[in-house]
Structure 1
Amino acid sequence: MTCFVGGMLGDGLAQIVSGEPFDLARNMRMASYGLLIGGPSGHVWHRFLDAAVLPHAPKSTRAVLAKLAADQLAFAPLANLALFAFIECAKGTPQHTLFVVQEKLWPTLQANWALWPLANWIAFRYLSGDMRILYANCIGVAWCMYLSLTFYSQGKFGA
């Protein structure tokens, strides 16, 4: 539910900042991604990392770096692909997914790598597993706002 609320807040703030009329359908698409895919997959992924990567020393520098590498090189690209596909399918334009992926995946990953490694370093190093998703969802409001401003406001994603 926190991913759902984060998606609503992030996109809602983006719509306010952009000065566009509020688009409830767009807002619900972003929120629904968080509820149906982003939140559950993030929860499972973080639990997997905790169990699979040096579970005897989960906050060691080696464990944190391994988790960061796996997160940014495996999970981040897949999560963004899932987001693009979900939004396009929810809009009723699944045929646009490949175009959106070709156009937006690389810039989105670059922005992702500017924000999430530091955010996840803090999470993996200092937070307990049960607090990480809430923490990530708080940062995710800003991330969702960025995605909405970058894609929706330019008419290249959603709308």
Structure 2
Amino acid sequence: MAPPGPRVVVGLLAAWRPLFRGRLLLVTNTLSCGALMAAGDAVRQAWERRLPEGADGPPQPMDLRRTARMFAMGCSMGPFLHYWYQWLDRLFPAVGFKDIGTILKKVLVDQLVASPLLGAWYFLGMGCLEGQSLDTSCQELQDKFWEFYKADWCVWPAAQLVNFLYVPTSYRVMYVNSMTLGWDTYLSYLKHRVSPGWPLLSSHFRPQLLR
């Protein structure tokens, strides 16, 4: 079968372009955030369900409610990211390497403001969806935040430098979402790993802690 010709490719691009304009852009950003966070959780659960060597019995089933909670949490972050990048581009207008100083300021503001806010939002929001008390969720945030934030600094400054240098504003959230499958898998691991004194309230199985 012959590969699709240029007209087909152009037609597909034309069909997708409206999703990145006007009001539809907010919907696209919101649903893509939810879908990628759910996908990250699915990847993490697939890893957790692997039986240790020599273990008997079938693997535990997927916890679809946990994945649904991750989807809901991702969707709740989509509107914030949508407006955050628009605001950041208005505050620090910059195009290309000639404005590298301004772009580095944007990366720094993103790391110092958006990253910790989203980290707190994630742990507190997931705790609420899981039925944790506010005190329990705050304690979990306190226990895990610095581990999350150190990992964030290892991943996102470089990714956001590319984002602010080359990606148009309307595609920024989609770019971030395309980079987050591995990151969302890590977030699912960090939230649901079994730690001493931390029962898994949200899951009907306790995942193997594989390193």
Asked whether 1:80 is paired with 2:110, we answer no
Task: Tell me by how many angstroms 1:92 deviates.
Answer: 1.1
Aligned twin of 1:147: 187
1:94 and 1:66 mapped to 2: Cα distance?
37
Deviating above 6 A after TM superposition, structure 1's stretches of 4 or more consecutive aligned residues are none
Point out where structure 2 has 5 or more consecutive residues left out of the alignment. 1-30, 50-59, 204-211
Deviations 1:36-93 (A, max 9, x none): 2x1111111111100011x2x3442112111111000111001100111100111111
1:68 and 1:133 mapped to 2: Cα distance?
14
Q: Secondary structure at the match of 2:194?
A: coil
Asked whether 1:120 is paired with 2:150, we answer no
Aligned twin of 2:62: 22
Relative to the length of structure 1, the TM-score reads 0.91
Residue 43 of structure 1: which of 58, 82, 91 is its match? 82
Aligned twin of 1:12: 42
More helix by share: 1
Task: Tell me by how many angstroms 1:122 deviates.
Answer: 0.6
1:67 partner letter: K
Deviations 1:93-119 (A, max 9, x none): 133111111101110000111111111
1:124 and 1:2 mapped to 2: Cα distance?
20
Instruction: Out of 132-141 and 149-158, give the one that drifted further.
Output: 149-158
1:147 and 1:153 mapped to 2: Cα distance?
10
Identity %, equivalent residues: 29
Quick check: 2:32–2:177 contact (8 Å CA) kept in 1?
yes
Relative to the length of structure 2, the TM-score reads 0.70
Point out where structure 1 has 5 or more consecutive residues left out of the alignment. none
> Could you say which structure has the larger radius of gyration?
2
1:136 partner letter: V
